[in-house]
Structure 1
Amino acid sequence: MQPIIDWVLSVMETVGGPGIALAIFLENLFPPIPSEVVLPLAGFSAADGQYTIVEAVLWATLGSVTGALVLYGFGAAVGMDRMRVIAHRMPLVDVADVDKTDAWFTRHGRKAVFFGRLVPGIRSLISIPAGVDRMPLGQFIGMTTAGSLIWNTGLVSAGYALGSRYHLVEQYMDPISKAVYALILLAGVGVIVFLVRRSKKRGQDPDDAIDRGTL
Structure 2
Amino acid sequence: MVFELYINQIVDWVITLSPAEIYLVFAVVAYVENVLPPIPGDLLVAFGGYLAAEQVVGFFPLLIITTVASVVGFMTMYMIGAHFGHKIEEQRSRFWLMRIVDVKYYDKVKRWMQRWGQGVVFANRFLAGTRSVISLASGVSKTKVSTTLLSSTGSSLIWNFLLLLMGWVVHENWQIIGHYLNIYGRVILVIIILAVAGRIIFKRRLKSKSRKAKKN
TM over 0.5: yes
Select which of 66, 82, 90 maps to 1:76. 82
Q: 1:151 aligns with which of 140, 143, 159?
A: 159
Other structure's SS at 2:133 match: coil
Are 2:123 and 1:115 equivalent residues in the alignment?
yes
8 A contact 1:5–1:38 mirrored in 2: no
- CA gap 1:84/1:33 in 2 versus in 1, 3 angstroms: closer
> Scaled by the length of structure 1, what TM-score is found?
0.70
Match of 1:131 in 2: 139
Counterparts of 2:79 and 2:32, CA distance in 1: 16
SS state at 1:125 partner: helix
Q: Residue 7 of structure 1: CA displacement? A: 2.2
Instruction: Return the alpha-carbon distance in structure 2 between the equivalents of residues 60 and 129 of structure 1.
Output: 23
Counterpart for residue 38 of structure 2: 32
Q: Deviations over 1:53-87 (max 9, x none)?
A: 111111110111111112112211222x4455347
Paired residue type of 1:85: E
What is aligned with 1:208? none
Paired-residue identity, %: 26
Of 157, 160, 172, 1:164 maps to 172
Whether the aligned pair in 2 keeps the contact of 1:21 and 1:60 (CA below 8 Å) is yes
Q: Name the structure 1 match of 2:13.
A: 10
- Alignment check: 8 A CA contact 2:37 2:131 kept: no
Bigger radius of gyration among the two: 1
- Identify the residue that residue 101 of structure 2 maps to in structure 1: none
- In 1, Cα distance between the equivalents of 2:61 and 2:54? 13
Q: What is the alpha-carbon root mean square deviation over aligned residues?
A: 2.8
Q: How many residues align?
A: 174
Partner of 1:43: 49
Aligned partner letter, 2:133: L
